Amino acid sequence: MSQNPTRGRVKTRCPACHAAISLKESVELWDPLTCPECSAELEVTSLRPPTLDYLGAWVGDPEVVDEGGWE
């Protein structure tokens, strides 16, 4: 009996290069990861549907700073 290597995984896409990325079902919100295709540093920003964004994208965002936001 062969095992399915994608079992227990969910798929999403890299926001930088749009490569398909398989995530473990045990992935948690804000888990960091690196795209295997383009090496972009990413984090999980949503679980349903699984969504990735650039790691720390909101930190130092000029639009937020200009509006008196985070910093």
Whose structure tokens read 């349903």?
A: 48
Domains assigned to the chain? 9-66 (2.20.28.160)
52-62 pLDDT, tens digit per residue, is: 999 987 655 55
Gap between the Cα atoms of 29 and 45, Å rounded: 6
Gap between the Cα atoms of 4 and 47, Å rounded: 22
Angle at 24 between CA 23 and CA 26, to 5 degrees: 130
Over residues 45-50, mean pLDDT: 94
pLDDT > 90? residue 71: no
Assessment of whether the complete model's pTM goes beyond 0.95: no
pLDDT > 80? residue 27: yes
Q: What is the pLDDT of residue 38?
A: 97
pLDDT > 90? residue 67: no
